[in-house]
Amino acid sequence: MTFLLILSSFLGKIMSSFTLNQLPLGHEAVISRLLPESLPFRRKLLAMGITPGCKVLVVRVAPLGDPIEIKMRGFLLCLRRNEAKAIEVMEVAA
């Protein structure tokens, strides 16, 4: 993660880190890591292709915030709020 921060400052971009459930609708981010809270379903997330370095875009959010629909690797995927809370992402500001 330190490497990403150094690289982002070199490229002149500001990156902020937070969880996927906090990413606003229509915003794109890069997955930085899976948090320890993901242990019960970590294998499921990895099997779906949710890995560090993968770009994600929030496409839709249900009225009560659960589930969240994201676009990644060319397909759409719905995640529960508790699953999205366990995924740390870094948004790259333009």
CATH code at 52?
Answer: 2.30.30.90
Cβ atoms 19, 81 nearer than 8 A: no
Give residue-wise pLDDT tens across range 32-69: 988 887 788 888 888 888 999 999 999 999 988 789 99
Write out the E strands in 13-67. Answer: 15-19, 28-34, 55-61
Indicate if the pLDDT at residue 4 is higher than 70. Answer: no
Measure the CA–CA gap between 19 and 34, rounded to whole angstroms. 9
The 10s digit of each residue's pLDDT in 72-90 is 999 999 999 989 999 999 9
Domain span at 22: 2-92
Confidence band, pLDDT 50/70/90 cuts, at residue 12: very low
**Domain tally for the chain?**
1
Amino acid sitting at position 43: R
